[in-house]
Structure 1
Amino acid sequence: MTRIRFPDFLLVGALFLLGLAGAGGARAATQTHTVTNYLTHCGGCHGIEGISGRTFVPTLRDQVGWFVCSPEGRDYLVRVPGISMSLIRDDQELADVLNFVVFRLGGSSTPTGTRPFTAAEVHKLRAQPLQTDDLMALRAEVLSRARAACPH
C-alpha cells in the first residue's frame, strides 16, 4: 500500500500560517476550515505564507492591509476577480478568508481598528466584479490611493 504524504513544505506553511511554528519548535496543529480554504483556493498563486513568486501575482504578506485604508481599496479586495469569482461560494466563508488574509497575512500593513469583512459586504461587492483590461494598472492606482490614506 502506498502512503500519500502531506508535502513537508505545505505542513511547514500550514504551521506557519497558524502561528504554531516558532523558536520552540512545531506543535501539533488543527488546521481550520478558513486556512484550508486559503491554502486550497489562494495559496497556490499567492504562496502558502502569502509570499508569491516573481510574477504578476501580488505578495500578500505585510502588504495587503494597505488596501483597507480606503473604501475604494477595501472594495477592490472583494471585487478583484480571484475573490469575486472564487470557488468559495459561501459569502461567510469568503469573508473569513479575507479576514485571515488581511489580519494574519497583512501583518503590520493592516491598520489598527480595521473592521472585519462581513458576509453581507462580500455578497454585495462580489456581485460587482471588477471589469478592466489592465488589472495590474488598476491595482497599482487603487493601492497608491489607499496607501496615501493610511494612518501609518
Structure 2
Amino acid sequence: MRTRQILCPTDFSETAFHAMGYAFEMANFYSVGIRLLHVVDKPFGDKHTRVLALTPEELASRMEAEAADQMRQLIGTLDKGLTVEGVIRHGHAAEQILVTAEKINAGMIVMASHGRTGFEHFLHVNIAEEVANKAKCPVLVVK
C-alpha cells in the first residue's frame, strides 16, 4: 500500500467527493498517486429526454464524452502536488473497478457507499459491497 497507487472510483456524486477527500489524504501521507475511475454503464435512455432517441452507440459515446468532461473539470480543481490520473471505462462498475485495481496493482481502493438500507438496498446493486468482498487489496468504503 505504501508505495502503490490508490484507486478511487467516482460517480461524481457528493458522496464520491467525500470519499475522494480520504483518498487524497492517504495519497499525501504515503506520497503515492491516485487514479480516479469512472465507469460508464450500458445506456438505457437519454437522461434529458428519458427516451432512446439515439442509437445505443451514439448514447454511449455521449455518456463517455460527458464523463470525460466531468473528469477533466474535477482534475482541474485538484491539488497540483499529487499525481492524479483520470480513467473512463465501460461496463459493470464493480467488475471494472476490480479489473482496474488488479491492472494497476493498486495499493488500496477508496470508494463511496451510498448507504442504502432496507428495501432500497434490496432494489439496487451494492457496488461497494461487491468490490470490498472481491478485491485483492484493502478497500476503504466511505459513507
TM-score w.r.t. structure 1 length? Answer: 0.29
| Structure of greater relative contact order (alpha carbons < 8 Å, 6+ residues apart) | 2
> Of Structure 1 and Structure 2, which has the larger fraction of its residues in helix?
1
> Of Structure 1 and Structure 2, which has the larger fraction of its residues in strand?
2
TM-score w.r.t. structure 2 length? Answer: 0.30
